[in-house]
Chain A
């Protein structure tokens, strides 16, 4: 077992972290996660760092799962990793407009427990993306960020789908 670092020691800001020894750990971890993601290339999800100089910022792409309102639709997300990752959760947002009970339409913020209080260092980019993908088909309507969407999901699937398509923007360059 490697030495377990106490998370409290790691509350550095991004820049510091990138230089310090912990920053090296973040870089290594993210590099190996990227490698793992590339090797397995799970269908419908994908992610990549936005620039070769900063591995803490990634873009991701999620394709809606089959037999859901989001089937065949593709959405862009942004992933931002803190300097003490994986001891703290990355910040993840939808960049594409997203009509979904647990996503704030305006800001793209996502309400998902594993990205907040249930975060654990065993999660990685791949599990996050898979969780997000399944969130599309199984929203948690108990704590919606978009109550209108939550309401429609239960009562009027047809209008729901219409709304999804209304806000959907295909990814262009």
Chain B
């Protein structure tokens, strides 16, 4: 576009056209020609400019800049950014800005016009920058912050700033800081919970991020704080995401919880924490496949963890509710907790019996408004949140609304324990019970106290009865008050005759000692027996039922079926089966079909030795095959059961493909065939154009 046409355009656009001194106008307009390189204005130009109305010139110049920019600078910027170099682009931006702005500023017009032109220019530049430039600039800043070499970034930042691209440049810098901090937090601290990340992070922020940033730009204090907050939020977000695993890893993960406690600044983060934990625990914990005991352990861990994050317990209150509600639905919750409280050896939570001994003050006084340090509950506290500080046992007992279920379970446990006690020694049980008194009211524990007392009293009575006659031998009794003891579950069965005789005699003596009282016998308690077998003698502490059961085998070398046994014992088949399986497990009886016989001698008998003597060689090979392939017998069996007849090739291929680290398959096909043929000989398999399980 030549000068003339452009002038015509301007003339058309400008209302003040007629008033303009055309000579002065021409001089100024020549100077402002955008196709020329900007040079400082001569004195003549300045005088000419002073004689004109600056607003008219400015508005003419503005529209000239606009059209020139779109035609020339825009494509230039777009083309530049394709070179993937922000530095070059920044230079170009600078050149473009100088080209349009400098000649005008040199005219010394009104400052408002200068600013207006500068803004217009920045806006044009910003619009012309393609979208990927933002990412590229951010990357440059990220690199600068991480590599501690912010030279280029500093240049780019200051160029953009001078060209009026503050907003653009600052937003790039902010996202660069965000990205750097977040990825540092994720990469450095993910799954490392055994040391505090917070201090380390603050050190890193100060030494790396802040030092690089202050080189690139002048950091204000508010910006410094913003960077710190950003770091805190990033750490909190990471720990929140990991919260369930952190809780599971208690107590090794305590430093991670401290981090969380230090960084959980806003209500939004608190809400995130609660929601994340709730959703993670409902996925991983509160489901049918998880044993109750594990849920209880996790519940305890949750309590400890959230107390650490927030001692006041508002968050804990919110996350623990669903677990409590869930535990309430499980039928074995009470018995497992009681087993823990009574310090049963097999209970993994028996450590809670330690904390039971500490007196728990039930101090729920509500809000004390006379306390000068009083603060209201946080907004996210549930309406019925109470700030009473409960310890672990307290919270476990708190799962159920009333303590009755626990009292009932405790007395059941105590009853069964007391009945197993020998020599009337109740000291251990008594001291356990004493600890529980800290937690339950005296009235609630009354029946338990009476049960202990009953047994102690039985000792005196028993001593007296034995004094008056010694033919009662080793027969002792627990005399219990039926009203206070839980009803004893009893399957009816017949005790051996000589025991029944002893019972009768004992009962007579008792009635002599305490007139007008009569004993009613229960077949519970414990019996110490010793079994003399052909090659060994075994001693057992068993239930009266088990003892009566094995006594049936005293005089007979032949086996008995369950039918015969249950008939002799006068009990149901199911009860007899329970006792039978106990003795089979102990290795005293053996089951052969339906017949039970006594194992008089243990298995390593002379037969095996003889066999070894006769056929040493083949036995070794067979044994070797059994050793290497025995583990695969279930596989072979399942394979042939479900897939029908298979040739050795297929079986071999299958086993090779299923080989794993725990169960490696290393045999050759020949070895497999030998083993399969062995199984055929043992009548486990049959062979006819392929192997098949024999029915």
Contacts and interface: CB of A to CB of B under 8 A. Distances in A.
Most buried by A among B283, B634, B638, B662: B638
Nearest to A170: B695
A50 B248 contact: no
Contacts of B245: 1
Interface stretch (B171-179, B557-565, B652-660): B652-660
Given A59-B643, A120-B289, A41 B638 contact: yes
B638 A37 contact: yes
Contacts of B654: 49, 52
Contact of A173 (B244, B663, B692): B692
A120 B288 contact: yes
A102 interface: no
B280 interface: yes
Contact of A48 (B284, B641, B663, B692): B641
Interface in B629-675: 634-635, 637-639, 641-645, 650, 653-654, 656-658, 660, 662-663
Nearest to A50: B643
B287 interface: yes
Contact of A47 (B284, B289, B638, B658): B638
Given A1-B245, A39-B634, A47 B642 contact: yes
A35 interface: yes
Contacts, number: 60
Interface residues of A, number: 26
A31 interface: yes
Given A58-B642, A61-B642, A35 B280 contact: no
A122 B284 CA distance: 10
Given A1-B244, A4-B280, A122 B289 contact: yes
Given A1-B248, A120-B288, A122-B289, A61 B634 contact: no
B660 to A, nearest CB: 7
A122 B634 CA distance: 24
B276 to A, nearest CB: 12
A64 interface: no
B190 to A, nearest CB: 11
A38 interface: yes
B691 to A, nearest CB: 11
A124 to B, nearest CB: 10
A34 interface: yes
A46 interface: yes
Interface in A59-77: 59-61, 76
Nearest to A6: B283
B642 A60 contact: yes
Contacts of B637: 41, 46
Contact of B641 (A4, A39, A61): A61
A38 B638 contact: yes
Given A1-B244, A1-B245, A122-B287, A34 B658 contact: yes
A129 B64 CA distance: 83
Given A4-B283, A4-B284, A38-B635, A59 B642 contact: yes
B642 A31 contact: no
B641 A52 contact: no
A18 B652 CA distance: 23
Given A4-B283, A122-B287, A46 B641 contact: yes
A1 B658 CA distance: 26
B692 to A, nearest CB: 7
A35 B662 contact: yes
B287 A31 contact: no
Interface string B313-325: 0000000000000
Interface in B280-299: 280, 283-284, 287-289
Name the residue in A1, A31, A50, A53 with the highest tally of chain B Cβ atoms < 10 Å from its Cβ. A1
A4 B637 CA distance: 35
A35 B692 CA distance: 21
Please indicate which of the listed interface residues A31, A52, A53, A60 has the most CB atoms of chain B within 10 Å of its own CB. Answer: A52
A87 to B, nearest CB: 11
Contacts of B650: 52
B645 A173 contact: yes
Highest count of chain A CB atoms <10 Å: which of B244, B642, B650: B642
Contacts of B663: 35
A48 B244 contact: no
Contacts of B645: 173
Interface in A94-147: 120, 122
Contacts of A31: 658, 660
- Of A41, A48, A61, A122, the most chain B CB neighbours within 10 A belong to A48
B638 A46 contact: yes
A72 B635 CA distance: 22
Contacts of B644: 171-173
A38 B634 contact: yes
30 contacts: A1-B248, A1-B284, A4-B280, A4-B283, A31-B660, A35-B660, A37-B638, A38-B635, A39-B634, A41-B634, A46-B638, A46-B641, A46-B642, A47-B638, A48-B635, A48-B638, A48-B641, A48-B643, A49-B654, A50-B643, A52-B658, A53-B657, A120-B287, A120-B288, A122-B287, A122-B288, A122-B289, A172-B644, A173-B644, A173-B645
Interface of B: 244-245, 248, 280, 283-284, 287-289, 634-635, 637-639, 641-645, 650, 653-654, 656-658, 660, 662-663, 692
Closest 6 CB pairs of A and B: A122-B289, A52-B657, A173-B644, A59-B642, A38-B634, A48-B642
Given A50-B643, A171-B644, 19 more contacts: A1-B244, A1-B245, A4-B284, A38-B634, A48-B635, A48-B638, A48-B643, A49-B654, A52-B653, A58-B642, A61-B642, A76-B642, A120-B287, A120-B289, A122-B287, A122-B289, A173-B644, A173-B645, A173-B692
